[in-house]
Structure 1
């Protein structure tokens, strides 16, 4: 019996959901300036889904042509970056942070290091602390009780109000 690895993911609001059968190839962190801007972060974690292993299970992505050979897919409702599509390739990369279980895919490389932020290596040494959000009335509970984020699993209906 062959076991096929299946990964699922989607955007923050749940308007776009996808699944990848067979896992992802070459998971990596891209530090190029285009990926930094597209992610709004110091790098973008990506993994490649060859061929037709990627299936949209809800909604459709919107696309931005970031260069002639590359377009980037995102949710038009919440803005979550989801896909990196090199047009001449047979497949598409997904953003690892959009996976329901982002820790299931471990990056194997840092790419685009010529534009990596100079303090990247020091980030792992920063102190860590739990966030209590005491700056908000009601603290973390006010966020948890009003959370509009899609859960990290497929749902029959979303938003939850559609199930009624």
Structure 2
């Protein structure tokens, strides 16, 4: 089932509206995507380019002879991946305003998967507000720590 969702970069300069199928997201584990985002994997939603409207055109990095990546040159947010030739584009799930509806339905480039990072539910966790140094910095800025 498709949904119209919005997203953009951290600073707000780049914004988009996209018609996506949130239950068909995926994790890419390839080395190029890891390097492009700094993550151990990247969550993407694949959609037809015709179902994406950029409200401000992103900057594009030619990451290889066959692909390029949209990003914001002001804040550095990686926004996706697209083959130079092709009708589809991948948007980073984390760049959507509300990524909660997305559900991964497959892994891609599993030959590069960092298996130690595939299931971290057993690790202890804490909230941002439980970190005294970070909480104090937010309070000094006149704000509450993110929830």
Is the 8 Å Cα contact of residues 49 and 92 (structure 1) preserved in structure 2? yes
Q: Tell me by how many angstroms 1:143 deviates.
A: 5.1
Q: What does 1:54-133 align with in structure 2 at a 5 Å threshold?
A: 54-57=52-55, 59-132=56-129, 133=131
Cα distance between partner residues in 2 of 1:122 and 1:112: 17
Output the aligned Cα RMSD. 2.4
More deviation, 99-108/125-134: 125-134
Q: Tell me by how many angstroms 1:142 deviates.
A: 3.2
Cα distance between partner residues in 2 of 1:111 and 1:144: 42
Q: Tell me by how many angstroms 1:21 deviates.
A: 2.5
Is the 8 Å Cα contact of residues 22 and 101 (structure 2) preserved in structure 1? no
Is the 8 Å Cα contact of residues 30 and 44 (structure 1) preserved in structure 2? yes
Cα distance between partner residues in 1 of 2:84 and 2:141: 40
Q: How many residues align?
A: 144
Q: Cα–Cα, structure 1 residues 143 and 28, in superposed 2: closer, same or farther, change >3 Å?
A: farther
Q: Tell me by how many angstroms 1:91 deviates.
A: 2.2
Q: 2:140 aligns to what?
A: 142
What does the per-residue CA deviation read over 1:60-115, in whole Å, with 9 as the maximum and x for residues that have no partner? 21111111111011001000000211122102110000001111111111111111
| Aligned structure 1 segments of 4 or more residues deviating by more than 6 angstroms | none
With normalisation by structure 2, the TM-score equals 0.86
| Structure 1 gap ranges (5+) | 148-164
Q: What does 1:29-48 align with in structure 2 at a 5 Å threshold?
A: 29-48=27-46
| Structure 2 gap ranges (5+) | none
